[in-house]
Structure 1
Amino acid sequence: MSLRTRWLRRRVPVRVRHYWKLLAVCATFLVTCAVVFSNVRVTPLVTSPGPTSGDPGEVTWNVGGSASDLFDPTMAHSVSLRFRDDDYQRLLDSFWTEGEKEWLAADLTIDGVPVPDVGIRLKGNSTLGGLTRNGAARPGGFRGGGGVRGGFDPGGGQPGAPPGAQPGGAQPGGAQPGGGQPGVGQPGGGQPGGPGGAQPGAQPGGQPGGPAGGFAGGGFGRVTLRAEEPETLPWLIRFDEFVDGRRYQGLRDLAVRVAGMGGAPTVLNEALSLGVLAEAGEVTQRYSYTSFTVNDRPTKARLLVEPPGEEFAARLGPQGVLYKSLSTGQFTYRGDDPTSYTDDFDQVTMKGSRDLRPLIDLIRWVTTSTDADFDRHLADHVDVESFARYVAVQNLLLNFDDMAGPGRNYYLWYDLRERRFTVVGWDYNLTFTGSTDQGPHDAAARRGGFGGHRLKERFLASAAFRPVYEAAYRDLYRRIFAGGAALRTLDALAAVLPTVDGHDASTSDTDRLRALVRQRTEFLATVL
């Protein structure tokens, strides 16, 4: 053995020399793992808070666009998309066979400003249940994914419940299915089918000549969409899906909306709802009308809406987590394992630094607390005044599909400083549906449409929270209806729509909505 070899050997620690075979085996194992599992994706579950957000990466390119704000509702905008038909057909194949909404690369132009390589995908669940391709519906399409847990069951209340079961299941806190509350505004006792309740089978809006759709054959009414007409479909546009760090006027996402329940294609009821909520000082999404062209197909007038995301969350507060309720979910305690809630909620912001723990704790508390505990400590978990205004708004606007409806349409904002939740409204394309003489305590107000939500039901059933709810209801009634905001907003929207390329005046919903707003105003004046 040479001097150099002996010298090098002495430089190796004795323990390493004694156990070199074991170390060699361990090293070989690690190399093997690296090779075998190099293509396996591991998704960590965060169970403790961290200091930073896991939201999409740093914004490196904010496209300013034209001089006009995209969400200026007083003017018409223009949006066009161009993509390869082969890519579009693959997107449809994926949705048809797997229920997956894959991203498609497209070139976008907004108000004359080109934005290449954006991502677009189909958006919606029950809305896409009416989608056909080559004249045929997607098997199981109504459930938006083949009947996953929590999907809406057209034949009755909760999924898996026997036909005729009460929507929403048991009524915590003593709330009785169909039972109205004594006190303010109870025409007909608030029984379904009575003067204060929505009539199953009635036209949306409760008015003769309302938009077709409603409840078809006992099922949930929906708009018919054709894959051959992509300019009419619901889309989500994402600016950084294929170009990292890009935004458009600060936006990451943009939703192109469609009507619900066979409503007018311009979704005027949703625009009206968003407009009056903004005028009433409520936190809501921004919107505008645009011409919408896909490839060389006919141009249509469409409604653009801001989806709640990181920009929207920043307006809710400086520090917090935004969660989205999924249409496939329920507000049901399933234990402490976050993976048990993947069909129920999606975490929108602060991924990687925060998790579902606050939300799971809320669900458990609402599910298990006694009536006395609920009354005493709700304010520790939920912003009660804000929640009262949310619930009042859904009733005032006759929203068929709020947090208690089949679409489970709401977000939850968890304020990290106050350590409590705020309920945020979303998806107003089924507002102004139902009877105009629905009172603030009618059964339909408590349960929504064929749905149910324990938090909302317990809140409305509690005498302790009736004063704050009724105060919020009266204040919002004055702001939205008595003060004329609804009619002013409707008139402003009716003035913009004819200037939008692709608007079809024959499908206008303006007259019906104007009559409905007046009737709603007159009725509420008699009970408040």
Structure 2
Amino acid sequence: MRSRPRTTRTRASLATAVATTLMLTGCSSGGDAATDETSRSAGASTSGSVYDASIVHTFALEIEDDDFDQMIAAYEDTGEKEWITATVTIDGETFEDVGLRLKGNSSLMSVSSDAEPTDLPWLIDLGKYVDGQDLDGYSEFVVRSNTTESALNEAVALDLLEQAGLASEHAVASRFSVNGGEEKLRLVVQNLDGDWDEENFDTEGVLYKAESGGDYSYRGDDPSAYEDVFDQETDSDEENLEPLIEFLDFINNSDDATFADELGDHLDVEAFATYLAFEDLIGNTDDIDGPGNNSYLRYDEESGSFTVVAWDHNLAFGGFGMMGGGPGRDGEMPEGFEPPEGMERPEGFEPPEGMELPEGFDPGEVPEGFERHGDRDGAPGRFGGSNILVERFKADEDFNARYEQALADLEEQLFTSGAAQEVLDEWVAVLSDQAGDLIDAETLDAEAADIEAALEDPGSAQSSAPGDTDDDADDKGRNS
């Protein structure tokens, strides 16, 4: 039996939030919010919890200055993301001896001793040093980076990913602070760990993270050859890369006829077609064939097949600052952005009007550590490289037809229907009502308008983001 992602979890809709508020104030809404057909399915499972997205939550960290300085120094010197301990208060509940480390890839390029901890991307692990420590059943939280103040693009993308029937992550807006400093609006999302896997899939499985410096190439049958390419995220006590290696062998080395006939035995083909269509419609240039190799592979132990799991949507809908100006609303690169060393502008590249790229920046040249495959007729893939699975999938007439059909179906389901606009409106309402002191109304309206423009023309944002700003991997080095 092929494992299918569960579709019983998304964020609470405003209808659920309003009903909850009315109940708390002793009023009646005249109906049962739990059965309200306008509520998205996960409302019941997240309402009132740390992942209730109708609420702007509070995440406050307390860390020792020396620990922070040593962690930053270690990252600058070696690229290692060392764990430190912290005290973390979430919505008024305090947790001691919490694991904390940096999480990201090129979002950490500008990290230095002068870095403001409230601006950095973090992985918070309540159970790192205290077994069983969690909040509402969740122990790992990712404080995401974004080039916009609202992070609406990633928040909306994650809700739509769920509505597309694919495995997604819970996401909430938060008031984030460190050592009692000024609060900053940050998006907090669920980390892809064993708990996430159980929540999203009905079968036993193993989750592998594709490292940002790797690719989907076959490197032989020695597991050590994949040490910096994939990391096993679940069942890590019993590391087993054999299923992954066999999958990579098949997608790289099978002839075209065998690939067409047998891919369905190795991959959830329908989910993959939907995944590709979704990422293109939301204009995410930082997906499986983007520069960060952003994806997870989930192995189903019952069917023996893989599912490609989406991760990292802070470049959705144009990413670097939304539709109107590429890297920033005013055409400027985000503060602290530093392109990879040696990048030069490719022949024929024209930045959006008003956009100024740093000297020597080349969205077409592959940074050191990346490998570009190009598609099967020799043309390069999207910025930063491509992916052999994507190339072969789209080169096959029947598989490509499934992708094209998924494009049409999702455009109707998510965009033409108005569902995406509803999701955007809900997020804007939450931020406007509860975070007006963290983001001014003009900025929120402008960033929402950029996304709204993208919703009206799905896929149009695809070319407006020149490259990768954020990804993550494991504890092993800079590619995590």
TM, length-normalised to structure 1: 0.64
2:388 alignment counterpart: 454
Cα offset, 1:502, TM superposition: 5.1
Give the distance between the partners of 1:465 and 1:411, measured in 2 at CA: 21
CA gap 1:284/1:424 in 2 versus in 1, 3 angstroms: same
1:250 alignment counterpart: 137
Q: Equivalent residue of 1:247, what SS?
A: coil
Aligned 8 A contact 2:283 2:458 in 1: no
2:3 alignment counterpart: none
Alignment of 1:60-459 (within 5 A): 68-134=48-114, 227=115, 229-259=116-146, 263-314=147-198, 315-433=200-318, 447-459=381-393
Gaps of 5+ in 2: 1-45, 324-374, 463-480
Q: Equivalent residue of 1:447, what SS?
A: coil
Cα offset, 1:98, TM superposition: 1.3
Q: Equivalent residue of 1:510, what SS?
A: helix
Q: Equivalent residue of 2:240, what SS?
A: coil
2:438 alignment counterpart: 503
1:479 alignment counterpart: 413
In the alignment, structure 1 residue 468 sits paired with structure 2 residue 402: yes
In the alignment, structure 1 residue 513 sits paired with structure 2 residue 398: no
Where has structure 1 moved over 4 Å in runs of 4 or more?
Answer: 521-524
Cα offset, 1:312, TM superposition: 1.3
Question: 1:143-179: per-residue Cα shift (whole Å, max 9, x none)?
Answer: xxxxxxxxxxxxxxxxxxxxxxxxxxxxxxxxxxxxx
1:221 alignment counterpart: none
Aligned 8 A contact 2:282 2:458 in 1: no
Give the distance between the partners of 1:378 and 1:392, measured in 2 at CA: 18
Question: 1:67-98: per-residue Cα shift (whole Å, max 9, x none)?
Answer: 82111111111110111111111111111111
TM, length-normalised to structure 2: 0.71
CA gap 1:502/1:297 in 2 versus in 1, 3 angstroms: farther
Superposition CA RMSD, Å: 2.4
Aligned 8 A contact 1:272 1:490 in 2: yes
Question: 1:44-88: per-residue Cα shift (whole Å, max 9, x none)?
Answer: xxxxxxxxxxxxxxxxxxxxxx98211111111111011111111
Gaps of 5+ in 1: 1-65, 135-226
Q: Equivalent residue of 1:130, what SS?
A: coil
Cα offset, 1:446, TM superposition: 8.9
1:6 alignment counterpart: none
Moved more, 393-402 or 349-358: 349-358
Give the distance between the partners of 2:459 and 2:391, measured in 1 at CA: 25
Give the distance between the partners of 2:452 and 2:380, measured in 1 at CA: 26
Give the distance between the partners of 2:383 and 2:76, measured in 1 at CA: 27
1:170 alignment counterpart: none
Aligned 8 A contact 1:257 1:303 in 2: yes
Aligned residues: 357
Cα offset, 1:362, TM superposition: 0.9
Larger radius of gyration: 1
Question: 1:329-381: per-residue Cα shift (whole Å, max 9, x none)?
Answer: 11111111101101100001122335000110111111111111111111011
Aligned 8 A contact 1:75 1:289 in 2: yes
Give the distance between the partners of 1:410 and 1:67, measured in 2 at CA: 28
Aligned 8 A contact 2:282 2:459 in 1: no
Aligned 8 A contact 1:291 1:501 in 2: no
Question: 1:238-272: per-residue Cα shift (whole Å, max 9, x none)?
Answer: 0112212322222231000011xxx2133210001
